[in-house]
Amino acid sequence: MRAGESAQRNVLAGLAAPIDLVILAGIIPTFVENGRGDPAVIRRILRTNTYRRIAVLVCALAPLLMARQLGAQEALKVPEGLPDWTFNIPDKIQPTAVRVGGIVRAPGSAKEYEWAKVAGTANPPDWFPDEHPPAPRSVTGGAGIRFACGACHLMSGQGHPEAADIAGMPAEYLIRQMAYYKTGARKDDARMGPIANATSDEDVRQAAEYFASLKPAVWVKVIETATPPKTFIATAGRHRQLHPDGGTEPIGRRILEIPEDPFRTEIRDPHSGFIAYVPPGSLARGEALVKGGESGKTVPCAVCHGEGLKGLGEVPRLAGLQPLYVARQLFDIRHGSSAGKAADLMKPVVANLSEDDIIAISSYLGSLPPP
C-alpha cells in the first residue's frame, strides 16, 4: 500500500470530519498563495491527486445511495435510484394545461411571433434583442441547426429548471460540460447528450462565449411551505403547473418549481421567472451546511465556488441557480451519472449528504442573489 493510501484509510476510518479538514488544509494555503480568482488555483486543485483519490474511495464506500424504487414510467428517464421529482417527468394523467397558439406577444416586448414558427427547438423567439449582445447561430438557430441553445436556455441564458441557467458561467466551464455530455461522462440521454454530439466545436465555443458574457438576474423566488398548491407536470415543456382543481398538497421531501406565469414561460419570455416551494426550515439548514459544512458532513462551498457563491475561476457560480436544477446535479454527481473529471472535486462534498441536506442546500443557493 502506498503512503497516500494509508492516509486516506485513516481519513475514511474517521468518518467525514477529517475529510473536509484534509481537503481544506490543502486548498486554503493554495488560495492564500495565489490570490482569489486566479484560474491557476483551480488548475492546481484539479491536479491534486490526493483529493481525487479520496473522492473515489469515499464514493466507493458510500452505501449504495437511496434504494428508492421508481415506477416503470419514470425508470425510462431517471437514472436508477434518483428521485424523480428533480427530473420533471410528465404526469400520466394530464389535466388541462396552458395551450399556446396563433400570434403571441410578451409584455414589454415590441415583437410578435406566429407560435407555430417558434415553438420547436430550431428557431426560438428573441423577445428582447436589445438586452444581449449579438448571438451566434448555435444560439439563435439557422441553417442545419435543429437544437438552438436559445430554445431551452432562452436568449437570456437563464433557462427553465428542467434545463439549466448558464448565464454568466465561465466559457471554459460550459465548453467542458459539452465535452462531458459528448463522451457520456455527464449523462443526459434525452437532451444534452445528442445535442453535444450534433454541435461542432466551433459552434460550442461561440455559444459558450455568448452565454458567459450575459449577466444573470434574479430568476427564482424560494418559498418555504409545508403545503404548496396542488400541481402537475405538463407534457408540453415538462413544466410543473398549478392543478386546475386548485387546493394544496403536502410538500413531502421535494422541491416544487412552478412558473410565475405558465403562458409567459411557455413562450420563453426571459422576464418571467419561477417560484420554488421548499420544505419549512430548508433555508436556515441549507445556509448552515453551505457555510460551515456542519462538522464534516460536507465541505464549505465558498472554498471553491468563491465568495457569495458567485463563481471562482472556472468553477461555476451557485448563487441564484434554480433549486430543482442544483438538487438534480447534486444527486447526479453523487450517483455517478455526472462524472466528468472536474466533478471529482465534488464527490467528497456530496458523499454524505442526505436527500434532506440536498434539498436544504439547493433551496438556500436558489435564494442567494446572482452576481
**Which residues of the chain form contacts with ligand HEC (CB under 6 A)?**
23, 121, 138, 147, 149, 151-153, 162-164, 166, 169, 173-174, 176-178, 188, 191-192, 195, 199, 204, 207, 290, 298-299, 301, 303-305, 315-316, 318, 326, 328-330, 340, 342-343, 345-346, 349, 361
Is the Cβ of residue 148 or residue 251 nearer to ligand HEC in the bound state?
148
Q: How far is the CB of 318 from ligand HEC (least distance, A)?
A: 5
Helix axes 49-61, 17-34, angle to 10 degrees: 160
Query: What are the backbone angles phi and psi of residue 232, rounded to the nearest 5°?
Result: -145, 165
Q: How far is the CB of 300 from ligand HEC (least distance, A)?
A: 6
CA atoms of 106 and 102, how far apart (whole Å)? 13
Is the Cβ of residue 100 or residue 243 nearer to ligand HEC in the bound state?
100
Q: How far is the CB of 77 from ligand HEC (least distance, A)?
A: 11
CA atoms of 20 and 11, how far apart (whole Å)? 9
CA atoms of 225 and 229, how far apart (whole Å)? 10
Q: Helical H runs in 128-249?
A: 137-140, 149-153, 171-183, 192-198, 201-212
Which cell goes with 110? Answer: 415590441
CA trace torsion 126, 117, 90, 221 (10° rounding): 20
Is the Cβ of residue 112 or residue 201 nearer to ligand HEC in the bound state?
201
Is the Cβ of residue 22 or residue 192 nearer to ligand HEC in the bound state?
192
Interior angle at CA 19, CA 289 and CA 360, nearest 5 = 15
The helix (run of H) or strand (run of E) holding residue 53 is helix 49-61
CB-based burial label for 12 (10 Å; 0-12, 13-18, 19+): middle
CB-based burial label for 99 (10 Å; 0-12, 13-18, 19+): exposed
CA atoms of 367 and 285, how far apart (whole Å)? 13
CA trace torsion 74, 76, 79, 83 (10° rounding): 0
Is the Cβ of residue 118 or residue 230 nearer to ligand HEC in the bound state?
118
Is the Cβ of residue 191 or residue 243 nearer to ligand HEC in the bound state?
191
DSSP 114: E
> How do beta strands 231-233 and 220-224 pair?
unpaired
Closest CA to 315 of 29, 21, 31, 11: 31
Q: How far is the CB of 110 from ligand HEC (least distance, A)?
A: 25
Q: How far is the CB of 248 from ligand HEC (least distance, A)?
A: 28
Is the Cβ of residue 273 or residue 332 nearer to ligand HEC in the bound state?
332
Q: How far is the CB of 291 from ligand HEC (least distance, A)?
A: 9
Q: How far is the CB of 87 from ligand HEC (least distance, A)?
A: 8
Is the Cβ of residue 46 or residue 230 nearer to ligand HEC in the bound state?
46
Q: How far is the CB of 193 from ligand HEC (least distance, A)?
A: 9
CA atoms of 131 and 268, how far apart (whole Å)? 15
Is the Cβ of residue 189 or residue 249 nearer to ligand HEC in the bound state?
189
Q: How far is the CB of 130 from ligand HEC (least distance, A)?
A: 22
